[in-house]
Amino acid sequence: MTDLSIAVTRPEVKGRSLWADARRRFMHNKAAVVGLIILSFVTLMCIGAPYLGLHDPEEVDWSLEQLSIPPNFELGYYFGTDQNGRDLFVRTLYGGQVSLFVGFVATMVSLLIGTLWGATAGFLGGRTDGAMMRIVDIFYSLPFIFFVILLSATLGPQARQFFGSDMVLIYLAIGAVSWLDMARIVRGQTISIRRKEFIEAAHASGVSNWRIITRHIIPNCLGPVVVYMTLTVPAVILTESFLSFLGMGVQEPNSSWGMLISEGAKSMDIAPWAVVFPSAVMVVTLLALNFVGDGLRDALDPKDR
């Protein structure tokens, strides 16, 4: 009797959840934490750009002795001005809003399509699975960037009228391109998890389906998906910049990092800062995103215990 009462009154041992473990591991990864800090800083600066008391991104400063001046802290032009006499710092931040937003939205599009496609294929299995993944294989071997260029070159003007903005087409085009890997990853996860012993064990010990899905399948699927998402964002930002660089992505008066780099590269012999600063900000952000993604992968990979 006494033994039992001790056992009952003993405080419950607090188990470490998968996510707490992952968080601890992530926090031990210096590169990932620094990446996360830089990323948060850049994001906050971009979002908060209108409230920082900076110059207007469209305002041309006619008081300068030449339109394009190098960085000048007294006048508040931290990155200098572009060839039209506009503040490059604030333009870089506004461009960052667009680039980051495109990265986020297109990743969501790819997440939605990829997860649905992959989970359906993996769950149904058999012939349906074969056919669905064959389609993915075919898409995979297409040079997709050319389709994106084709799409924005041929349907761009129409889409701009239809949606009232040129951005929607870019989200859709890039998102539609980047869902393939996500579909493969989710399918692989679904299949491998469905047949794992711990699922069987859970079944055998009478755990309900709902609890198996929430406690076992989703957390095990989520790791790779989250990791892959963080790695999709920089890839999408790159694709968008690639298009904007060629003049087929974001259109004036909007700007994005790719567009700023493209504009800066044109006048680089007289105003090198116009290409250096936007490039640097973009590269630092992409590096940070990649470090965060790698850190998450290491933190969430259960094989690594």
* Residue among 117 and 122 whose Cβ is closer to other proteins: 117
For the beta carbon of residue 73, count every other beta carbon within 10 angstroms.
7
Q: Which residue has the tokens 């980047």?
A: 178
63 binding other proteins? (CB under 8 A): no
261 binding other proteins? (CB under 8 A): yes
Residue 207 CB contacts under 8 Å (≥ 6 apart), including other chains: 215
- Binding other proteins (rule: CB under 8 A), the pick from 147, 172, 212, 215 is 147
| β-bridge partners, 77 | 72
* Residue among 220 and 239 whose Cβ is closer to other proteins: 239
* Residue among 111 and 235 whose Cβ is closer to other proteins: 235
* Residue among 62 and 146 whose Cβ is closer to other proteins: 146
| Distance in Å, CB of 25 to other proteins, minimum | 20
Q: How far is CA 110 from CA 11, 18, 121, 163, 271, in A?
A: 45, 26, 16, 20, 38
Of 304, 284, 303, which Cα lies nearest the Cα of 292?
284
Q: Name the token pair of 80.
A: 């200098």
Measured distance between the N- and C-terminal CA atoms of the chain, rounded to whole angstroms: 39
Return the residues of window 265-304 that contact other proteins according to CB under 8 A.
Answer: 265, 268-269, 272, 275-276, 279, 282-283, 286-287, 290
| Distance in Å, CB of 130 to other proteins, minimum | 14
* Residue among 148 and 167 whose Cβ is closer to other proteins: 148
* Residue among 124 and 246 whose Cβ is closer to other proteins: 246
Of 239, 265, 262, which Cα lies nearest the Cα of 152?
239
- Binding other proteins (rule: CB under 8 A), the pick from 245, 251, 255, 277 is 245
User: x/- site string to other proteins, residues 99 to 138, per CB under 8 A?
Assistant: ---------------------------------------x
| Distance in Å, CB of 204 to other proteins, minimum | 35
- Binding other proteins (rule: CB under 8 A), the pick from 107, 115, 220, 241 is 241
Could you tell me how many residues make up the chain?
305
| Distance in Å, CB of 217 to other proteins, minimum | 29
- Binding other proteins (rule: CB under 8 A), the pick from 50, 76, 130, 247 is 247
User: x/- site string to other proteins, residues 196 to 235, per CB under 8 A?
Assistant: --------------------------------------x-
Q: How many residues bind other proteins (CB under 8 A)?
A: 39
Q: At residue 81, what are phi and psi to the nearest 5 degrees?
A: -120, 160
Q: For residue 36, how far is the Cα from the chain centroid?
A: 13
Q: At residue 111, what are phi and psi to the nearest 5 degrees?
A: -65, -45
* Residue among 254 and 279 whose Cβ is closer to other proteins: 279
Q: What's the rounded Cα separation, in Å, for the pair 129 and 105?
A: 28
For residues 105 and 171, the answer to whether their CB atoms sit within 8 Å is: yes
Q: Name the token pair of 203.
A: 């079944």
Helix, strand, or coil here: 256? coil
For residues 102 and 165, the answer to whether their CB atoms sit within 8 Å is: no
For residues 242 and 258, the answer to whether their CB atoms sit within 8 Å is: yes
Per CB under 8 A, residues contacting other proteins are 138, 141-143, 145-147, 149-151, 153-155, 157-158, 234, 238, 241-242, 245-248, 258, 261-262, 264-265, 268-269, 272, 275-276, 279, 282-283, 286-287, 290
